[in-house]
């Protein structure tokens, strides 16, 4: 076995899920995540946890969903399994990212609605989702298999403790700050200059560990929920939204709401997102990507949005974790992330102080210029 697979398993079990001896752990294994599952089982054996392994096969799910009459119910046995579980580890990595492409969205939604209690039980565990680098994911990323493996392990096998500390500094900035400004002035792009109100909002230090209320491995972002937004922003990182390619989206905000939009590709996708509901025209998230192990776009939002030296804004639903207790943020049926590269000709200001320039934070080597805006 590639030693990196064992290291991945150790990060997942020890850093991310914090598994203790005697914990009842569910491992969900996608079709081609076998090797990672073996390594995770080995690590859980060393820790002395109790393991049930489920088979997270998209092909199997498609067969079930297509054959069913659509009047779904949640199995008591599945609810019992998850209610009794302490930890849930999802090992993604199937054989075909389009394996369920022909399942009608009504069917998916009916299945999902019927299983709300199962999802709730899973979310009540110390759950962590990760992926094993498979050929299918390499293909989605447009990368050779070995290069994609290298990419995934660069993203996952970080010094998480050190990164969590750096991210804590950014979280403190956002928690204390009232206003974030993002400016980018590249000659070859429409200008970005947007102001976001974040007073009273709490940032999440997403350090790929349940100890930080962060449930994805890799992670590596600090995110909060803007209350208001004004200005224009150009998203130069390409995305796939609702199975369609979207490129070079430009949004204009006034009083928190999108008042103009355009895109070089997939503009109708953006249009349909914005028309979902009132909340879809407002922002639910500002995220700052800080995982420098993720150094390229791979058309997988779990990686792309964590990319170092980027920021993302999400149209739609806000996360409760960012809000004062009992308060609810922007509500919407959607949460669509759009990413902009800040590694060149860019700066992030908090309350007028430049805290990042060209992707480099003021507390990092290579940060240039005064903290005041120029």
**Residue 9 beta carbon to a copy of itself: minimum distance, rounded to whole angstroms:** 10
Collapsing DSSP states into helix, strand and coil, what is residue 134?
coil
Task: Name which of 71 and 188 has its Cβ closer to a copy of itself.
Answer: 71
What gap in Å lies between CA 128 and CA 10, rounded to an integer? 13
Interface residues with a copy of itself (CB under 8 A)? 22, 24-27, 29, 31, 34, 37-39, 41-46, 48, 50-55, 57, 59-61, 63-69, 71, 73-86
Task: Name which of 60 and 211 has its Cβ closer to a copy of itself.
Answer: 60
Task: Name which of 43 and 347 has its Cβ closer to a copy of itself.
Answer: 43
**Residue 72 beta carbon to a copy of itself: minimum distance, rounded to whole angstroms:** 8
Task: Name which of 24 and 175 has its Cβ closer to a copy of itself.
Answer: 24
**Residue 69 beta carbon to a copy of itself: minimum distance, rounded to whole angstroms:** 6
Measured between alpha carbons, how far is residue 334 from residues 192, 282, 284 in Å? 24, 11, 9
Cβ count within 10 A of residue 154: 17
What gap in Å lies between CA 170 and CA 52, rounded to an integer? 38
Helix (H) or strand (E) holding 361: strand 360-361
**Residue 92 beta carbon to a copy of itself: minimum distance, rounded to whole angstroms:** 14
Measured between alpha carbons, how far is residue 257 from residues 58, 105, 186, 316 in Å? 37, 28, 25, 11
Task: Name which of 12 and 82 has its Cβ closer to a copy of itself.
Answer: 82
**Residue 132 beta carbon to a copy of itself: minimum distance, rounded to whole angstroms:** 13
Helix (H) or strand (E) holding 145: helix 145-156
Q: What is the dihedral of CA 25, 30, 32, 33, to 10 degrees?
A: -30
187: CB partners within 8 A, 6+ apart: 345
Task: Name which of 51 and 297 has its Cβ closer to a copy of itself.
Answer: 51
What gap in Å lies between CA 300 and CA 298, rounded to an integer? 5
**Residue 68 beta carbon to a copy of itself: minimum distance, rounded to whole angstroms:** 4
């Amino acid at each position: 076995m590639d030693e990196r697979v064992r290291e991945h398993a150790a990060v997942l079990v020890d850093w991310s899920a914090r598994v203790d001896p005697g914990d009842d752990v569910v491992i969900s294994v996608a079709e081609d995540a076998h090797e990672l599952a073996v390594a995770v089982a080995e690590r859980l054996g060393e820790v002395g946890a109790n393991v049930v392994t489920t088979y997270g096969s998209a092909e199997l799910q498609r067969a079930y969903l297509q054959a069913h009459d659509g009047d779904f119910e949640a199995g008591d046995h599945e609810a019992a399994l998850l209610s009794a579980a302490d930890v849930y580890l999802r090992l993604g990595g199937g054989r075909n990212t389009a394996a369920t492409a022909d399942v009608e969205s009504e069917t998916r939604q009916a299945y999902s609605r019927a299983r709300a209690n199962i999802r709730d039980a899973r979310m009540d565990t110390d759950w962590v989702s990760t992926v094993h680098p498979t050929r299918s994911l390499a293909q989605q990323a447009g990368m050779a298999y070995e290069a994609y493996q290298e990419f995934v392990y660069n993203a996952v096998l970080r010094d998480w403790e050190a990164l969590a500390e750096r991210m804590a500094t950014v979280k403190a900035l956002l928690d204390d700050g009232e206003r974030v400004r993002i400016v980018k002035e590249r000659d070859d792009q429409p200008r970005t200059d947007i102001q976001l109100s974040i007073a009273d909002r709490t940032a999440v230090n997403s350090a790929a560990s349940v100890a930080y209320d962060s449930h994805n491995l890799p992670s590596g972002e600090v995110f909060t929920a803007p209350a208001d937004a004004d200005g224009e922003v150009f998203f130069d990182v390409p995305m796939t939204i609702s199975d369609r390619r979207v490129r070079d989206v430009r949004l204009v905000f006034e009083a928190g709401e999108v008042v103009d939009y355009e895109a070089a590709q997939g503009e109708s996708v953006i249009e349909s997102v914005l028309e979902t509901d009132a909340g879809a025209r407002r922002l639910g998230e500002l995220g700052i990507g800080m995982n420098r192990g993720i150094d390229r776009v791979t058309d997988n939002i779990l990686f792309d949005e964590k990319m170092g030296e980027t920021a993302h804004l999400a149209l739609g639903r806000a996360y409760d974790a960012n809000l004062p207790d009992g308060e609810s943020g922007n509500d919407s049926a959607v949460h669509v992330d759009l990413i902009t590269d800040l590694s060149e000709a860019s700066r992030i200001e908090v309350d007028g102080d430049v805290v990042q320039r060209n992707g480099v934070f003021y507390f990092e080597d290579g940060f240039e210029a005064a903290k005041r805006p120029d």
